[in-house]
Amino acid sequence: MSATGSSAPSRPILRTGERVRVRTAEEILATLDENGTLDGLPLMPETLAFAGRELPVHLSAHKTCDTINHRGTTRRMDRAVHLTGARCDGSAHGGCQAGCQLFFKEEWLERLDGTPIRDGAPATGTIPLPLTVIESGTTAAPEPDDKPDAEPRYRCQATELVRATSYLPVQDWRQYVDDVRTGNVSFAATVRSLFLSVFNNYQKLSRKLPARLRIREGAFYPFYRGTGAAKQPPAGLDLQPGELVEVRDKAEIMAALGPNNRNRGLWFDAEMLPYAGRRGRVLGKVEKIVDESSGRMLKLRDCVVVDQITCAGQFNRYCPRSDYIYWREAWLRRVQG
């Protein structure tokens, strides 16, 4: 049961583009339980930086992909949205540079006339949870096998996503209705997404069938496989923020991937393929991110993010998280302009 007393999933209220105001820190803190969460979703100090601001809804967050267990599954999120431009700056999480879109519960928002989006029964009564609870909740308790000098394990919305969501099967038709009703996705795109989900589920099951019944050996759509050597050299472009780059074409990228579709450990995801030929400016280098499975800080090299190039989720039932895509320099070319 959620902190608001509802055991059944609530239908999304807000639509894409609708302007809302983030409630005050005191009002938001009053919706939280003793662990600093609402329905298992932690409030982070980075979220409170947007208190009082008026922002448009980027996308409804009624579902999200599972980036913790990496099983290709989708999770149901109740009463939440992503707001345009509201990304985590990592300031309370060791300087993490993932730049994740923040989840905002509807109880944390209000309409521009001051009307709450959804009235919630504060789990701690009318007394706001002390801010110190939120600040101390950015790190997790040490594991029994952790060494005394081990680096901290961070706790954020991304690491707690499974606890804040529930499994959402492909056949739950309500998600597709909500995709269209909230303006997240067009009807045509939703139908295509459903077809791809059914097809890729068949592909997964077909791997246990005789070879004659398999399509492309049971590979998921879109079909691609690296054609390069397992060990790839760095591109050495030394890209800097503000530089204009172009995503290389599919053949060039495949040549820069090993047979496992990786370049020096970094996976090239299907969601990156549609960006072949796209141009954009480098936002910056990504050198450290919180691993969503363990909470540990991961160190990255030769990795950049590009403005306006984010995961569209078209091969993952249109997950709305819009995560930044991590690019090896070998998958990009510098463009003058």
Closest CA to 237 of 327, 309, 337, 325: 327
Give mean pLDDT in consecutive 10-residue pieces for the chain, a chain of 337 residues: 51 94 95 94 97 98 93 89 98 97 97 86 61 88 73 95 95 95 97 92 92 91 94 93 98 97 96 97 97 95 96 94 97 93
How many Cα neighbours within 13 Å face the side chain of 331? 28
Closest CA to 323 of 67, 77, 73: 67
Q: How is 59-99 classified by DSSP, letter by letter?
A: EE-SEEE--SS-SS-EEE--SEEEETT-B---TTTTT----
- Give the pLDDT confidence score for residue 3 in this predicted structure: 42
- Give the pLDDT confidence score for residue 120 in this predicted structure: 60
- Give the pLDDT confidence score for residue 110 in this predicted structure: 96
Closest CA to 252 of 332, 312, 183, 313: 332
- Give the pLDDT confidence score for residue 8 in this predicted structure: 63
Closest CA to 243 of 278, 279, 281: 281
- Give the pLDDT confidence score for residue 1 in this predicted structure: 37
- Give the pLDDT confidence score for residue 124 in this predicted structure: 45
